């Protein structure tokens, strides 16, 4: 009986740890983690919901580039849609060289480009919302969660990564880390808070099956 209880306790603890890793900011789980100060990975052309194609070369002249990973179905990502729209409006107000790229790397029927188009129309997306079909971009960035944000300066160096702000609820958010990183970079200052653990659903990667 004691052994059964001990086994139950161990299993419960393991489940709690796994839940924390899935929801909390533990980006170290990803083997290809992009570190602060690292160069933005080059990426090939990806299709946007408006029919355009975007690659890293299209952002070569950007003074600031914000890359956000999101998806259609994650409740955390859905909660941030209005804040993404507001971020895009802010970027436009700052100037053309501050750009936002939003990427959907999730695998699944609900994450198809057609579903993305529908979601973008419903949510009023005016930014580039592209599909990472091969999931190579998410892996190169070390992206783990939706939503998760990466801010690059004019030298394409990573100056901030992680959560947009300090609360999943817009009403409770008091600090916008992404916006602070943009403002500091534009002013030529070092970004004081360069990493805050992202909160959300883990990106759903396609399972690799052995051919043997």
The answer as to whether 10 is a domain residue is no
pLDDT of residue 179: 97
The answer as to whether 120 is a domain residue is yes
pLDDT band at 95 (very low <50, low <70, confident <90, very high): confident
Q: Which of 183, 197, 212 is nearest to 76 (CA)?
A: 197
The chain-wide mean pLDDT, for the chain, equals 86
Q: Which of 114, 119, 113, 133 is nearest to 206 (CA)?
A: 133
Number of other residues whose CB lies within 10 A of the CB of residue 14: 10
pLDDT of residue 210: 60
pLDDT of residue 29: 42
Taking CB atoms within 8 Å and a gap of at least 24, the contacts of 75-81 are 75/201, 76/145, 76/146, 76/147, 76/168, 76/199, 76/200, 76/201, 77/146, 77/147, 77/200, 77/201, 79/168, 79/169, 79/170, 80/147, 80/164, 81/123, 81/125
The answer as to whether 13 is a domain residue is no
Domain count, the chain: 1
Q: Which domain holds residue 156?
A: 29-202
Least confident of 28-37, 97-106, 110-119, 164-173: 28-37
Mention every residue, 6+ apart, whose C-beta is less than 8 A from residue 137.
41, 43, 46, 103, 105, 143
- Phi/psi at 66 (5° precision): -105, 125
Q: What is the distance between the alpha carbons of residues 148 and 127, in angstroms, rounded to a whole number?
A: 16
pLDDT of residue 96: 76
pLDDT of residue 9: 44
pTM listed for this prediction: 0.84
Which is more confidently placed, 103 or 19? 103
pLDDT 10s digits, 131-150: 999 999 999 999 999 999 99
Percent of the chain topping pLDDT 90: 79
pLDDT of residue 33: 83
Least confident of 2-11, 37-46, 70-79: 2-11
H helical segments located in the chain = 2-23, 75-79, 81-94, 113-123, 136-141, 177-186
Q: What is the distance between the alpha carbons of residues 155 and 43, in angstroms, rounded to a whole number?
A: 16
- Does the pLDDT at position 78 exceed 80? yes
The answer as to whether 1 is a domain residue is no
Cα 159 to the center of its chain, rounded Å: 14
- Does the pLDDT at position 26 exceed 50? no
Number of other residues whose CB lies within 10 A of the CB of residue 175: 13
The answer as to whether 18 is a domain residue is no
pLDDT 10s digits, 179-208: 999 999 999 999 999 999 999 999 999 987
The answer as to whether 208 is a domain residue is no
Domain harbouring 132, CATH code: 3.40.30.10
Number of other residues whose CB lies within 10 A of the CB of residue 112: 15
pLDDT of residue 21: 39
Task: Work out the average pLDDT over 11-32.
Answer: 41
The answer as to whether 12 is a domain residue is no
The answer as to whether 9 is a domain residue is no
| Angle between helix 177-186 and helix 81-94 axes, rounded to 10 deg | 10
């Amino acid at each position: 009986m004691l052994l059964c209880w001990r086994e139950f306790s161990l299993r419960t603890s393991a489940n709690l740890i796994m839940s924390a890793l899935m929801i909390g900011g533990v980006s170290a789980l990803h083997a290809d983690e992009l570190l602060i100060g690292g160069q933005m990975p080059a990426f090939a052309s990806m299709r946007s919901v408006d029919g355009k194609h975007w690659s890293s070369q299209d952002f070569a002249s950007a003074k600031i580039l914000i890359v956000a990973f999101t998806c259609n179905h994650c409740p955390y990502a859905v909660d941030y849609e209005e804040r993404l729209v507001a971020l895009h409006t802010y970027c436009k107000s700052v100037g053309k060289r501050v750009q936002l790229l939003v990427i959907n790397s999730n695998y699944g029927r609900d994450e198809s480009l057609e579903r993305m188009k529908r979601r973008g129309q419903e949510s009023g997306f005016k930014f580039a919302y592209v599909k990472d079909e091969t999931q190579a971009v998410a892996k190169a960035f070390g992206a783990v969660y939706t939503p998760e944000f990466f801010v690059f300066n004019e030298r394409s160096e990573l100056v901030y990564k992680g959560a947009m702000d300090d609360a999943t609820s817009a009403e409770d958010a008091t600090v916008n880390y992404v916006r602070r990183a943009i403002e500091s970079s534009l002013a030529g200052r070092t970004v004081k808070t360069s990493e805050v653990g992202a909160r959300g659903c883990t990106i759903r990667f396609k399972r690799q099956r052995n051919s043997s």
